[in-house]
Amino acid sequence: MDAANGSQNSEQTLDSEVKAFFDSAPPLHNSNDIIQKLNHFIQLNSSPSENGVGRRIVCVTSGGTTAPLEQRCVRYVDNFSSGHRGATSTEYFLKAGYAVIFLYRRGSFQPFCRSLPDDPLLECFESTEGLNIQVREAYSKAVKTAIVDHHALPFSTVFEYLQMLQIISRPMKDIGPRAMFYLAAAVSDYYVPWKDMVEHKIQSDGSYLLDVKLVQVPKMLSVLRKDWAPLAFCISFKLETDTNILLNKARGALEKYNMHAVVANELSTRKEKVVVVTIDDKITVTRDKSKADDDVENPLIKLLSQRHSAYIEDSKRMR
């Protein structure tokens, strides 16, 4: 088999795996509602402002996806992620002027949690005359940003996550290079296809072995880059626990999925240091330890925002 045939075959295999994944996935309950609200948010934020240029929009994914083992799910395989990276990055993207679509795991960290009081509902709002409620002055900026500038969509399973990512990519495709995907979610590598999954709770009748077959989740990063939103600026993450393999793995992902950058992080040091791997650079980004409340996401988002601006300018020149 020659190289061209080989890559054509692997593309066909990926296409059929992707089709099988979406065909077998249980449909989202509220997809029309999601699409309508999302389109409204993107339209509102991408229309040209006074300077004639629309805003940049980033889709931040955050938290881990689950792979259910039963259709009426009691047990599932989970992926580690607290959602801290995605939530904190969202705050810095907003500071940098982006509108943010925050695709997050239900129950994981949310942006602004740190700038809001422990009980936001009781402390952020006060009741005035009659039934009127108003936001307390001290929290008005955080509440406005949370409501107006970011649009949050929750998921739990890998089926929900990938269907939502596909839905988001449709209107994002229309805004071309101004769109960014910042894929910090920890996505299941393996899943049980819906049609192969038992309906009811798996019984533990004393058998020693639980025999469940998981198959590989198709590599959607390639599909996102190739078909869903080919002009968007795409950043993915690589997580390892063994630092000896981390950078090579990140470089491999960069090339395999044609990402614009891969952020490499090691589990235990992920809040202190990351390495941004691009085709011609490896940039170490660290948290400013002299400031107690600084985050590694602060310099990271500054760097990515600069790279994104350069990418937008390059795309204009190439038109």
In whole angstroms, the minimum distance from the beta carbon of 145 to ligand 9Z3 comes to 21
Q: Which two tokens stand for residue 310?
A: 């350069």
CB 31 within 8 A of CB 22: no
CB of 275 to ligand 9Z3, least distance (A): 12
Nearer to ligand 9Z3 by Cβ, of 94 and 184: the residue is: 184
CB-nearer residue toward ligand 9Z3: 46 or 188? 188
Nearer to ligand 9Z3, 41 or 182 (CB): 182
Distances (CA, A) of 73 to 10, 132, 202, 206: 33, 42, 9, 21
DSSP string, 114-167: TTS-SSHHHHHEEE-STT-EEE-GGGHHHHHIIIIIEEEEEE-BHHHHHHHHHH
Residue placing its CB nearer to ligand 9Z3 in the complex, 85 or 151:
85
Phi-psi category of 249—alpha, beta or left, where left has phi over 0 and alpha has psi -120 to 50?
Answer: alpha
d(CA 213, CA 78): 16
Q: For tokens 């072995």, what's the residue?
A: 209
User: CA 115 → CA 61, 94, 160, 222, 299, distances in Å?
Assistant: 21, 14, 29, 36, 19
Nearest distance, CB of residue 184 and ligand 9Z3, angstroms: 5
For binding to ligand 9Z3 (CB under 6 A), which residues are involved? Answer: 81-85, 184, 186-187, 236-239, 265, 270
Closest to ligand 9Z3 by CB, 238 vs 307, is 238
Smallest distance, Å, CB 313 to ligand 9Z3? 28
Which DSSP symbol is given to 105?
Answer: E
Task: Note every long-range contact of 41-44, with CB atoms under 8 Å and residues 24 or more positions apart, other chains counting.
Answer: 41/99, 41/101, 41/151, 42/99, 42/101, 42/171, 42/172, 42/174, 42/175, 43/171
Q: Which is nearer to ligand 9Z3, 41 or 237 (CB)?
A: 237
Smallest distance, Å, CB 67 to ligand 9Z3?
13
102 touches 90 (CB < 8 A): yes
Nearer to ligand 9Z3, 157 or 236 (CB): 236
Q: Exposed (0-12), middle (13-18) or buried (19+): which is 265, by Cβ within 10 Å?
A: buried
User: Could you tell me the smallest distance in angstroms from the CB atom of residue 83 to ligand 9Z3?
Assistant: 5
- Count of CB atoms situated within 10 Å of the CB of 92: 20
Our CB check for ligand 9Z3 shows the closer of 151 and 238 to be 238
